[in-house]
């Protein structure tokens, strides 16, 4: 661009000198040269600051490593690589035999626990009946003991007979205490609940839920709309639920956003909503319009984390670039670009807008330059 400006200015000076017949001397020539340097330099500096440009740009996309929730042998992989799929479609299946057996086992245990609870209910009812019987026996022996006491005072019964009735009464009282204790124990066993359900049943039901969850995990579904690529998983392979060993990578179908790393000098001329131009190395001679979405609030090179090592002055030598998130507003669908392509980005601020013409011309010239490269 600077060469174009110099050539344009030179042509303009020649035309002015010819048309107005300005003589070439030690005053006119240096004036024209210095004027050109000041004019061209000022325009370039205004353009660089107010309408920043970066070569460090590219598209970023989110991927999810697919890790199975259970361990097992893969039985089928129905998903086709690089083909769009919807959320919930099957990616692959794991042999469900051991997990189905575990579900049936827990279902049987749950039925057994429910029968056990019915037994506890019967035992509690029996204990209540025993307590009622013990109360009746206590009351009967108590009445007999009192009658014998009264009869003893009148001489109708001997002291030995009164003592015997007293022992019967005390024995019935002890039996009643034992029956009440047994009733309390049966009641606690029967009424022991969590969230309105017997604890034994609740425990087995939780194990059944876990077993059913593990069984459902034998079929792995797509987390969102998207696609998988480079599928190397095959039936017969062992899938293991280890985070460091995913079996495939899922690429989410989301809005295509681009990240550009700009100089900190122009940080004040980068705001959400500013217009931008994109140049793809894969598409020489073409430019695409876009806009700034946001300026990320942190620069990664300056992050620190808690550790046992003290930071030194070398940390301050890192000259990080602020990252800017942008979107392309033109339609890129006809070009079938792979995700992750690199771009050059020019942003046009609302300051010195007339100077943005220089940046627009320059970015289009750079687009045509993408035709020229050596690779041999």
For residue 314, pLDDT over 90 is answered with: no
Question: What's residue 254's pLDDT?
Answer: 86
Report residue 194's pLDDT band, with 50, 70 and 90 as the boundaries: low
Q: In this structure, is residue 310 part of a structural domain?
A: no
- How far is residue 81's CA from residue 91's CA, in Å, rounded to a whole number? 10
Q: In this structure, is residue 278 part of a structural domain?
A: yes
Give the closest residue to 100 by CA, choosing from 240, 205, 217, 201: 217
pLDDT in tens, 264-289: 998 999 999 999 999 999 999 999 99
For residues 343-365, average pLDDT: 91
Q: List the Cα angle 295/298/301 in 5-degree steps.
A: 125
Give the closest residue to 278 by CA, choosing from 363, 155, 171, 182: 363
Q: Are residues 190 and 338 in the same domain?
A: no
Q: Are residues 145 and 175 in the same domain?
A: yes
Q: Are residues 202 and 168 in the same domain?
A: yes
Long-range contacts made by residues 230-238, C-beta under 8 angstroms, separation at least 24? 230/81, 231/77, 231/79, 231/81, 233/74, 233/77, 233/92, 234/74, 234/77, 235/74, 235/75, 235/76, 235/77, 236/73, 236/74, 237/73, 237/74, 238/71, 238/72, 238/73, 238/74
Q: In this structure, is residue 308 part of a structural domain?
A: no
Q: Name the token pair of 373.
A: 């490269």
Q: Are residues 137 and 162 in the same domain?
A: yes
* Alpha-carbon distance values, 189 to 106, 112, 115, 243, 289 (Å): 22, 16, 14, 43, 74
Question: What's residue 5's pLDDT?
Answer: 66
Q: Are residues 84 and 233 in the same domain?
A: yes
Q: In this structure, is residue 67 part of a structural domain?
A: yes
Q: Are residues 90 and 128 in the same domain?
A: no
Indicate the residue among 213, 241, 270 that finishes a domain.
Answer: 213
Q: Are residues 285 and 342 in the same domain?
A: yes
- How far is residue 53's CA from residue 43's CA, in Å, rounded to a whole number? 15
Q: In this structure, is residue 103 part of a structural domain?
A: yes
For residue 1, pLDDT over 60 is answered with: no
Report residue 145's pLDDT band, with 50, 70 and 90 as the boundaries: confident
Q: In this structure, is residue 77 part of a structural domain?
A: yes
Question: What's residue 4's pLDDT?
Answer: 65
CATH, residue 67: 2.40.50.100
What per-residue string of b and e applies to 197-229 under the rule 16 or more CB within 10 Å gives b? ebebbbebbebbeebbebbebbebebeeebbbe
Indicate the residue among 182, 213, 244 that finishes a domain.
Answer: 213
In this structure, of 27-41, 107-121, 151-165, 187-201, the range with the lowest mean pLDDT score is 187-201
Question: What's residue 52's pLDDT?
Answer: 94
Give how many domains the chain has, as a whole number. Answer: 4
Rounded to 5 degrees, what are φ and ψ at 358? -60, -45
Question: What's residue 196's pLDDT?
Answer: 58
Q: Are residues 258 and 369 in the same domain?
A: yes
CATH, residue 357: 2.40.30.170
Q: List the Cα angle 157/162/166 in 5-degree steps.
A: 160
Q: Are residues 33 and 89 in the same domain?
A: no
The model's pTM is 0.71
Indicate the residue among 186, 213, 240 that finishes a domain.
Answer: 213
Q: Are residues 31 and 85 in the same domain?
A: no
Question: What's residue 358's pLDDT?
Answer: 86
pLDDT in tens, 85-134: 999 999 999 999 999 999 999 999 888 877 776 777 777 777 778 788 87
- How far is residue 308's CA from residue 358's CA, in Å, rounded to a whole number? 51
Q: Are residues 199 and 147 in the same domain?
A: yes
Give the closest residue to 99 by CA, choosing from 219, 10, 197, 198: 219
Q: In this structure, is residue 91 part of a structural domain?
A: yes
Q: In this structure, is residue 71 part of a structural domain?
A: yes
Q: For residue 133, what are the domain limits?
A: 98-213
Q: Name the token pair of 289.
A: 């319009």
Q: Are residues 369 and 260 in the same domain?
A: yes
């Amino acid at each position: 661009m600077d060469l174009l400006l110099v050539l344009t200015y030179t042509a303009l000076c020649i035309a002015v000198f010819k048309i107005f017949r300005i003589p070439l001397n030690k005053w006119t020539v240096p004036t024209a040269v210095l004027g050109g340097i000041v004019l061209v330099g000022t325009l370039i500096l205004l353009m660089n600051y107010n309408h920043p440009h970066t070569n460090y740009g590219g598209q970023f996309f989110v991927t999810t490593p697919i890790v199975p929730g259970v361990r097992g042998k893969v039985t089928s992989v129905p998903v086709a690589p690089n083909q769009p799929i919807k959320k919930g479609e099957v990616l692959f299946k794991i042999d469900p035999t051991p997990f189905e057996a575990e579900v049936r086992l827990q279902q049987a245990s749950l039925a057994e626990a429910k029968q056990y609870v019915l037994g506890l209910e019967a035992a509690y009812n029996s204990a209540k009946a025993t307590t009622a019987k013990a109360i009746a026996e206590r009351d009967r022996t108590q009445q007999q003991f009192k009658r014998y006491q009264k009869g003893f005072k009148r001489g109708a019964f001997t002291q030995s007979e009164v003592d015997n009735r007293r022992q019967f009464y005390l024995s019935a009282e002890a039996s009643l205490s034992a029956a009440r204790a047994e009733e309390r124990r049966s009641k606690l066993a029967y009424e022991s609940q969590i969230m309105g359900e017997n604890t034994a049943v609740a425990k087995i039901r939780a194990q059944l839920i876990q077993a059913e969850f593990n069984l459902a995990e034998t079929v792995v579904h797509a987390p969102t709309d998207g696609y998988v690529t480079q599928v190397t998983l095959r039936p017969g392979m062992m899938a293991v639920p280890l985070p460091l060993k995913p079996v495939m990578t899922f690429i989410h179908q989301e809005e295509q956003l681009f990240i550009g790393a700009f100089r900190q000098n122009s940080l004040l001329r980068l705001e959400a909503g500013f217009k931008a131009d994109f140049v793809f190395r894969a598409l020489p001679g073409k430019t695409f319009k876009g806009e700034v979405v946001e300026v990320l609030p942190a620069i990664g090179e300056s992050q620190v984390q808690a550790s046992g090592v003290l930071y030194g002055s070398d940390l301050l030598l890192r000259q990080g670039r602020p990252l800017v998130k942008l979107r392309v507003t033109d339609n890129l669908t006809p070009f079938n670009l792979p995700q992750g392509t690199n771009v050059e980005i020019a942003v046009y601020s609302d300051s010195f807008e007339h100077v943005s013409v220089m940046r627009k011309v320059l970015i289009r010239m750079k687009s045509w330059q993408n035709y020229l490269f050596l690779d041999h």
